[in-house]
Amino acid sequence: MAAEPMLDLAGLRALAHPLRVHLLALLRTKGPSTATALGGELGESSGSTSYHLRQLAGAGLVVEDEGRGNGRERWWRAAHSATHLEPADFADRPEAGPALRAFLTTVVASAARRAQEFVDETAGWPKRWQAAADLSDFGLSLSAAELTELNAEVAALVESRRRPPRRGDETVVFQFQSFPRRTS
């Protein structure tokens, strides 16, 4: 997979649909797949997943995995390991507003769903994984510049931990959110 791109308006519009966000996430976490297999996993028809995969491909977010399949079977893979979004880049583009809100709403809902799945399944994990997991929430007093710096530091730390899976590893979801909150 290529390096992490900055999400442009075409990519943002492609990801404004929740199913497309889920398809891209599955391709990133589970690897290449077909529309039929992805549809089965998500409870969607292969026609629907095929359509949405083509929309993602049009935005450069997924590509056909030509090394797999045959003439009847089309395999897809994520084009990048992650996608970076700077909402402020779209602040002066009102036409991007609905797509930005739809995408961010899906991201927040997906994060909540993943956390809830872990909570629901906690008892099924070995104690070492239960102890290693963390669902903390911190309140800080920061300037916008300090928050930008903190976000960059966290991103660098997360990137320093990327490596191929090893024996004993699990796929770990690291969810990080930082945003100002009005308290009055």
What is the per-residue pLDDT across 14-71, written as a single tens digit (0 to 9) for each? 998 999 999 999 999 889 999 999 999 999 999 999 999 999 999 999 999 888 877 6
What is the CATH number for 120? 1.10.10.10
Give the span between the Cα atoms of 14 and 110, in whole angstroms. Answer: 17
Strands 75-78, 33-34: pairing is antiparallel
What's the pLDDT at 88? 84
> By CB neighbour count within 10 A (0-12 exposed, 13-18 middle, 19+ buried), where does 169 fall?
exposed
Q: For residue 179, is it within any domain? A: no
The per-residue pLDDT of the chain, averaged, comes to: 90
- Strand ranges, E, within 11-156: 33-34, 62-64, 75-78
Question: Residues near 75 by Cβ (< 8 Å), separated by ≥ 6?
Answer: 32, 33, 34, 64, 65, 66, 68, 69
Q: Is the pLDDT of residue 176 over 70?
A: yes
Cβ(61)–Cβ(42) below 8 Å: no
Instruction: Identify residue 135 by its one-letter amino acid code.
Output: L
Q: How confident is the model at residue 2 (pLDDT cuts 50, 70, 90)?
A: low
Give me the domain span that covers residue 87. 9-126
Q: For residue 165, is it within any domain? A: no
Q: For residue 156, is it within any domain? A: no
Q: For residue 18, is it within any domain? A: yes
Q: Mean per-residue pLDDT for 100-109?
A: 90
What's the pLDDT at 23? 96
Q: Mean per-residue pLDDT for 9-14?
A: 89
Q: Mean per-residue pLDDT for 134-161?
A: 94
What's the pLDDT at 85? 84
Q: How confident is the model at residue 145 (pLDDT cuts 50, 70, 90)?
A: very high
Q: For residue 33, is it within any domain? A: yes
Q: For residue 3, is it within any domain? A: no
Q: For residue 26, is it within any domain? A: yes
32 φ, ψ (degrees, to nearest 5): -55, 150
Q: Mean per-residue pLDDT for 93-110?
A: 89
> By CB neighbour count within 10 A (0-12 exposed, 13-18 middle, 19+ buried), where does 25 fall?
middle
Give how many domains the chain has, as a whole number.
1
